A and B are shown apart, each in its own frame.
Chain A
Amino acid sequence: MAVKQISIFVENKEGRIKKAIDTLGKSNINIRALSIADTTKYGILRLIVSDNEKAIEALEKDGFIVKENEVIILAVPDEPNGLNSTLAVFDEKGINLEYLYAFVSSKTDEAIVVMRLENMEKAIEALKDSNVKILDENDIKDL
């Protein structure tokens, strides 16, 4: 149920993020979601893209360090308390959240949340028992 996200190491230097995005554009890769975690020295650019394999190949060719890792993507009701009820599922089981980023799509009324949790297996188990809507690769393609 987990979806593969790619992470890129970017030095905190002029034009580096643009360069990464540029590389993806030139390879005709669509970015579905994006977030940046940053420190004063470097950042981690996290992306959900249309074609991981192609994206990694293009980025590595341009000298970037890229890793693929698993995240969970959820559809959360776009209304007050929407995210809260989802987080409660993890809270009850004591599963720590590493990070999350969210976006809204014009094609659905729900907010899309990308999450990385400390224990991905346990998190997926917990979600199965809840009524939270988990999105898979195919769902993402339609967003």
Chain B
Amino acid sequence: MFWNEKAECMEKEEKEKIQLERLQKTVKLAYENVEFYKKRFDEIGLKPEDIKTLKDIEKIPFTTKSDLREAYPLGLLAVPREEIVEVHASSGTTGKPTVTAYTQNDLDIWGECIARGLKMAGAEKEYIIQNAYGYGLFTGGFGIHHGGNKMGAITIPISAGNTQRQLDTMVDFQSDILTCTPSYAMYLGESREKAGISLEDINLKAGIHGAEMWTDEMRKRIESSLGIKTFNIYGLTEVMGPGVAQECEFQNGMHIQDDQFYPELINPETGETLDYGEKGELVLTSLTKTGMPILRFRTKDLTSLIAEKCECGRTTVRMTRITGRSDDMLKIKGVMVFPSQIEKALLKIKGISPNYMIHVTRPDILDEVEVKVEASKELFFDEMKEMEKVEKQIQASIRSETGLRVDVTICEPETLPRSEGKAVRVIDERNFD
């Protein structure tokens, strides 16, 4: 049932005691060994000794992705270089990559977190894990690998791609667990059907998927096309990699390994701490890593937290599915709006493609929003009044989701950016100078 029952099912009081001890140790380590943290603390006159309670964490300044970029590549080490044994880096699609460095102890912690997740997915020592996350600078492949090793399971480092070989491996090795991105899992499921391999020919029981956003609809498709139960996994290179949190068999929020990472929820605009049930940005602090400890890292991921004990028996804090990124947040007519909300509103309308553009302007003193969607056969009518009805329906759906009255423009198909990759969905032409 549990990989580490003591850590995963700890009572609140005991956990908070451990968290505080570890936090104080981490803060001291960072302050004394990392120039960046020392400077940040000194600027506001904060000393490691000022962290007397868990609540005191709020006194520590946030660390952002750009802070990590400035320290590229190895500017944030808290230990001498000879103690570092591995590095990983983010893809760098939005600028210089951010690097994370690990000591052997850090790798053990990573393996521990992944092993807990593997166990949640039902893995046993004799299981075969087909690890189709990419091996390389990306944390996915190696992260799962370290976890598989920790557990003592058989890890096949097949990496991503080469679909025929993936299918052959599934059949020949009778792999038990598939680990890869959800979109690749979906592709593998479709490819299995096309290749005429029946579900009886394979032996997959579970899939651990993450590193990109996915929906319940995708989950259903992966589960039925591969005959598995899927587990959402969360993590980020800046903090460690996958394994910071993962779902258990109840699929009701991801269990954050909160004896290793301390979660907070903040209002992305003001930085104020929010209550668990609210929706906000996740902030993470590493509690045990020593190579590159990280204090109050702003993940930009929007979620909410669940403190209640899970049906599975674990007491670790859970985070709900990521609903967006705080960088995407728009403030329109004083209302917070996320592109994901618009997307959700559009998906409620039959026949609409999920491709859209949000165009925000301020012609005079008031904000105006235009939402462009693509026409489709279901959304096109020969009569003007029917077309107006379609526009009104889209408008109403967006209004009920966001509270905003927007202008809807129907465009020709294939003229808006596709949903794959990092499509630009928002054009904000307001001038705030």
Contact = CB atoms under 8 A, between A and B. Distances in A.
State whether these chains interact.
yes
Interface of A: 5, 7, 9-11, 13, 16, 37, 39, 41-42, 44, 46, 63-65, 67, 69, 98-99, 116
Contact of B377 (A39, A44, A65, A116): A65
B414 interface: yes
16 contacts: A5-B382, A9-B375, A37-B384, A39-B384, A42-B387, A42-B410, A44-B382, A44-B384, A46-B382, A63-B412, A65-B375, A65-B377, A65-B380, A67-B377, A67-B380, A99-B383
A13 B411 CA distance: 10
A1 B195 CA distance: 50
Given A9-B375, A44-B387, A69 B382 contact: yes
Interface in B358-389: 375-377, 380-385, 387
> Mostly helix, strand, loop or mixed at chain A's interface?
strand
Interface of B: 375-377, 380-385, 387, 409-415
A116 B376 CA distance: 22
Nearest to A69: B382
B411 A11 contact: yes
B355 to A, nearest CB: 14
B388 to A, nearest CB: 9
Given A46-B382, A63-B414, A116-B383, 7 more contacts: A7-B382, A9-B410, A9-B412, A39-B384, A44-B384, A65-B376, A65-B380
A44 B382 CA distance: 7
A16 B381 contact: no
Contacts of B412: 9-11, 13, 16, 63-65
B381 to A, nearest CB: 7
Contacts of B385: 98
Contacts of B413: 63, 65
A11 B412 CA distance: 6
A67 B387 CA distance: 13
Contacts of A99: 383-384
B411 to A, nearest CB: 6
A20 B425 CA distance: 28
Contacts of A7: 380, 382
Nearest to A71: B382
A89 B259 CA distance: 82
Contacts of A41: 409-410
Contacts of B381: 67
A72 to B, nearest CB: 14
A99 B42 CA distance: 75
